[in-house]
Structure 1
Amino acid sequence: MLRFALPLLAVAIFANPACAQEGNYTGSGEGELSAKIKHIDNDVFAISLDTIVPMESDMPGCAGSVEGEAILDETGGNLFVENEDYEPGSDSPMLGEQYCEVKLSFDEDGFLNIEEQTGCLTYHGAACGFTGQLLNENAVN
């Protein structure tokens, strides 16, 4: 019976490689970062990103989060979240971008690299951001 189960398990794992990216990730960048990636359907994933820089004696802290859905493949993808405060034609870094864009990429060493592209200042303070390197909490070292 085991002889038949192993090939079926291998087919199930390799038939949907995108699900291997699902999980909770933690790491650092400008502060402490975390990401939750949950498979929704086919290549669509729900993504939640959090950043925090703890307050120090004379420096204010910073925190923020953003969530949305993105299309991911085995190498990654881009998260686009509409900026609710967007004002067309504004020169303000908080109001002038229609979307918060964050690039997500998975490397061969098992890391999730996230890089804030544009328009995310409304989702976090000026002293932190969504750029850094994270590792799946369930990864085996």
Structure 2
Amino acid sequence: MMFKRVFAGACAAMLFATGASAMPDGSYSGEGDGFRLSAEVRGNRIEVEVSTVGCLGGGEGQLRQVGNRVWQAYLSEYGDICVIQINDMGNSYYMQEVQGCFAYHGAQCGFTGSLSK
């Protein structure tokens, strides 16, 4: 448990040092493996949601640019920190879980899939 806190704190500090998000504000939607994904971006804040039969999940958090056309979202509402990476693919975005997101959506769905505006 202590390792999780230290690791999460180190990751958050590293991300906060990279500056504000350049991901365009707006509403994004798309699909994962049999489920619907959505994201709302406002500045350096993001809200993500996933839904399908038997699954509904989501969360809010910080959005930070970590590379060229690459962002990471840090959701921390439920104790565990959920990290989601978002890559700009040109005409769409690809969102993929990095760690700790199970508490945000359960076993029937996830935060991995394509999004577009």
Please say whether Structure 1 and Structure 2 have the same fold, judged by a TM-score greater than 0.5: yes
Contact 2:46 2:60 in 1 (8 A): yes
* Cα shift readout 1:3-38 (whole Å, capped 9, x = no counterpart): xxxxxxxxxxxxxx926x211001000310000011
Is 1:77 aligned to residue 71 of structure 2?
Answer: yes
Q: State the shift of 1:74 in Å.
A: 5.8
Aligned equivalent of 2:102: 121
Contact 1:52–1:62 (CA under 8 A) maintained in structure 2: yes
Tell me the percent identity: 29
Hey, which bits of structure 1, 4+ residues long, moved more than 2 A?
81-85
Count of residues in Structure 1 that have an aligned counterpart in Structure 2: 95
SS in 2 for 1:122: helix
The separation in 2 between residues aligned to 1:71 and 1:125, in whole angstroms, is: 25
- Aligned partners of 1:29 and 1:132 also within 8 Å: yes
3-state SS of the aligned residue for 2:22? helix
Corresponding residue number in structure 2 for 1:49: 48
- The alignment's TM-score, normalised by the length of structure 2, stands at 0.72
**Partner residue of 1:37 out of 20, 37, 41:** 41
Conserved 8 A contact 1:26-1:135: yes
Aligned to 1:68: 61
Structure 1 vs Structure 2 CA RMSD: 2.0
Q: Which has the larger radius of gyration?
A: 1
Distance across 2 between alignment mates of 1:79 and 1:134: 14
